Structure formats: C-alpha cells, structure tokens
Chains A and B, each alone.
Chain A
Amino acid sequence: MIEFQLDTASGVATYLQLVQQVHQALRLGILEPGDRLPTAQQVVAKLAINPNTVLKAYRDLEREGLVRPRPGQGTFIVGTLPRSDPAAQEQFLVSMTTWLRKARAAGLGPDDIEAIYRTAVRNIFAEGAA
C-alpha cells in the first residue's frame, strides 16, 4: 500500500498528482502487480480531497491498463511501467551538465536556461502527442 501526498503549491491538478505518484511508485518498484491501492475513502480521510478526484485518478490509471478495480475488494495494480535504467540516467546527467556549462559560458543565467528547457520540453512532447 502506498500513501499519497499532495503538493498544493505545484499548480498540478490533484488527480494528476495521484496518477503521477502511482507512476513513480511503479517505476521505482514500490508498487507491483497484485498490490492494492488505498480506497477512495482512505485517501479522502487523509488528504481532505473530493472523492471524485480519487475516482478520476483511478479511472485514468485503469484506462492506461495499470490498475483494475475488483468489486468489493478495491483497486489493484495489474500493469507495470519500465523502470528507468540508472546507467542511462547517469549518461543524461553527464551530457546535461556539459550543455549547462556551455550555456553558462555563453552568458545565459538560470532564468534563460529554464525558459529554454520549458520551451524544448513543450516542443518535444507536443511532437509526441501529435
């Protein structure tokens, strides 16, 4: 069983935060097929959020094939997500650091870099969605 947390300042919709936390737990191997998610009642009793928010998150996860509700028993993990490979992460960290050094040498500050990063992420993921 996992316990959900909320970051109210993040600006990310509450149901999406729940979805992302399940994703992350799957990637880290904290959740595995057969594990049960907390019931809507348990989640709202802890976080004081609208039960429909929890149900919406669980429906999204079900649509992704990651969980399945079993009537009267709860919602169970049935899918997996690829765990991220630590070696690959290390490699990207190295190339990112090199890139950042170059950017700094070219006179860019953290704000400029963040703007570039956000634009690039938006462009790349817009491509993927199209």
Chain B
Amino acid sequence: MTAVIETNGLGKQYGRTWALRHCDLTIPEGKVVALVGPNGAGKTTLLHLAVGLLAPTSGTITVLGGRPGGGPAQLGRVGFVAQDTPAYAGLSVGKHLRMGGYLNAKWDQELAESRIGQLGLDPRQKAGSLSGGQRAQLALTLAIAKQPELLLLDEPLASLDPLARREFLQGLMEIVARHGVSVVLSSHLIADLERVCDYIVIIVASQVRLAGEVSGLLASHHRLSGPRRDPRTLPASQHVIEESHTDKQSTLLVRANEPILDPAWTVKRVTLDDLVLAYMSQARDLGPARRSALGVVS
C-alpha cells in the first residue's frame, strides 16, 4: 500500500521553538485520519508542511509521492481547508465556484453545483452572510470539486454547533464513499471523530506520540484495575501508558499485544477517548522541558 503522507525526521522551528520535531510518520492511503492533540501541539504545522505552505527546517516530507507544493500538478492532487473554513466574505457562493473553475485544472463544476443545491445554498448569497456551518460546507465543496486524491482539513469542526458538525461529517463521509479520497482532519473533538476515523495520529508538545489503525490500537490497549501493585512487576510485554494508585487499588492503562491473563486484574476495553487522554497526559508528565513547548505555536 502506498503512503499518502510520509515523513522522516521532519521538524519545523520558529526562532528557538520547535513547532514539530522528530516526526516519523507513514500514513497509508484510503484512510480517514484523525490528527489529534492539544492546542499548539503542532497539528497545524504538520498540515501546512503537507500542503507546502511551510518548508521543513529539518527532515523530509513526501505527499502522494511528491514534494508538497512542488508545482501545479502536486497542488491539484491535494485539497486543503484551512482553520476556520475561510471564504471570501464579499464574494457570492456562485462566484466562489467560478473562481474554483478558473484556478483548478480538474474542476468538476457539476459536482460543486449539485452539492451547493443539496445543501440548499443560494448561489447569489454572499459568503459573508453564511452561517458557520454553511461556510464550512462551501469550503469543503471547493476543496472536493478540484477532485483531489488527498483532503486535508484543519479543525473543520471547531466552530460548528453539534448539528452542523454532524451534517459536515455526513457530507464528508459521503464524499469518501463516492470518490475514495484519503482524508486527514485535525481536531480536538474526539467524540465526533470516533465514528469517522479509522486511523489516528496523536501529537503532543511537537512530537508524535502514537500513530496507527484505530481498531488495532483499541484492541491492544486495556484498562486494568485490581489490588495495588507496582507496575514494574508487570510482564515485559505490557507497557504502562497511564497509572493511578490508591492505598489499596491500582488502575492502569496498558498497551499489550497479548491477552491479559492475570486473574487479579479486572480488564476493560478502552474507548478512543480514553486512549487519546492517556497519551496526552503521559506526555504532560514528561517534565518541564517538554511542557514549555505546549501552547506556544499552533
């Protein structure tokens, strides 16, 4: 299987601060990828590197086998919706579509118009008077009508109400089903992503903490609770991601590829939410040097 995004030792530095560092990723094609992490973790930096809006300070990034932003052909293969789903406030919906037609070699006007029709948008309406949800749908329409192989969405859900979020994801999943496009979307709303994403990348404090297939990760992580126990006495095949102890009881979140057989533990499945929070808080416990990178750059 080919990779839609491949990075090796990728890093981006602003002044003395690393916004992204030591990033090694291989994202397979045909996935809907959730890029999650706290604000300022480096999600936007990674997306901007993938589109070619930023150049790496160190390492390499390849997108669909090519160099990001490396010419019109490469630009045409990647659709990008920036944070806050921007549109030109003074331009009408119809003019946005015309502009898309002028600027893109593979523009599908019919697809764009039918989506706008389905959404019940008036082509004469100015984008500035659209609701947040409608503007997000317009931005998605522009990104998909250029018929990209990879769609990158930066926090598309952040400013939407729950109904608009739902409608946006329905539209996005319909596009995936129909056109087989690969998607990477960043978000910190994990609950919304659980249904749509089959691959997850967790970035905390400028570094990739975890990347993989959601189903595999959920199957290999377990929540254990039982009598108090020193985690260092666990079998070598079980890695503790998160632990908490009272005087009598220990609760652990472990990664283990083999079943947990010790009868002293009560074993529970983890949700994607549990997993993301555990990896995020693990990173926070790593010390002040890394913590200081949090919240500096988005």
Q: Do A and B come from one complex?
A: yes
With A11-B269, A11-B271, A13-B215 already in contact, the answer to whether A47 and B177 are too (CB < 8 A) is no
Stretch at the interface among A26-34, A49-57, A80-88, A97-105: A49-57
Interface string of A29-69 (1 = CB under 8 A from B): 00000000000110011111111111000000000000000
Q: Which of B166, B178, B195, B269 has the most CB of A within 10 A?
A: B195
Interface residues of B (CB under 8 A from A): 30, 32, 166, 169-170, 172-174, 176-178, 191, 194-198, 215, 269, 271
State in angstroms the CA–CA spacing of A46 and B173 once bound together.
10
Cβ contact within 8 Å between A41 and B195: no
With A11-B269, A11-B271, A13-B215 already in contact, the answer to whether A50 and B196 are too (CB < 8 A) is yes
Cβ contact within 8 Å between B173 and A49: yes
With A11-B269, A11-B271, A13-B215 already in contact, the answer to whether A45 and B173 are too (CB < 8 A) is yes
State in angstroms the CA–CA spacing of A33 and B176 once bound together.
29
| Chain A, Cβ-Cβ closest to B196 | A50
| Chain B, Cβ-Cβ closest to A11 | B269
State in angstroms the CA–CA spacing of A49 and B195 once bound together.
5
Cβ contact within 8 Å between A48 and B215: no
- Please name all residues of chain B whose beta carbon is closer than 8 Å to the beta carbon of A51 when the two chains form the complex: 173, 176-177
Q: Can you show 5 pairs from A to B with CB atoms below 8 A apart?
A: A11-B269, A44-B177, A45-B170, A45-B173, A54-B177
With A45-B173, A45-B174 already in contact, the answer to whether A50 and B271 are too (CB < 8 A) is no
- Please name all residues of chain A whose beta carbon is closer than 8 Å to the beta carbon of B196 when the two chains form the complex: 48-50
State in angstroms the CA–CA spacing of A96 and B269 once bound together.
29
| Chain B, Cβ-Cβ closest to A45 | B174
Least CB distance from B117 to A in Å reads 15
Sort chain A's interface into a size bin. 10 to 19
With A11-B269, A11-B271, A50-B32 already in contact, the answer to whether A44 and B174 are too (CB < 8 A) is yes
Residue A75 CB within 8 A of the other chain: no
With A6-B195, A11-B269, A14-B195 already in contact, the answer to whether A50 and B170 are too (CB < 8 A) is no
Least CB distance from B182 to A in Å reads 11
With A50-B196, A52-B198 already in contact, the answer to whether A44 and B170 are too (CB < 8 A) is yes
Residue A91 CB within 8 A of the other chain: no
Cβ contact within 8 Å between B195 and A48: yes
| Chain B, Cβ-Cβ closest to A43 | B177
Residue A73 CB within 8 A of the other chain: no
Residue A8 CB within 8 A of the other chain: yes
Least CB distance from B67 to A in Å reads 29
Partner of A44, one of B173, B197, B198: B173
| Chain B, Cβ-Cβ closest to A39 | B177
Cβ contact within 8 Å between A48 and B198: no
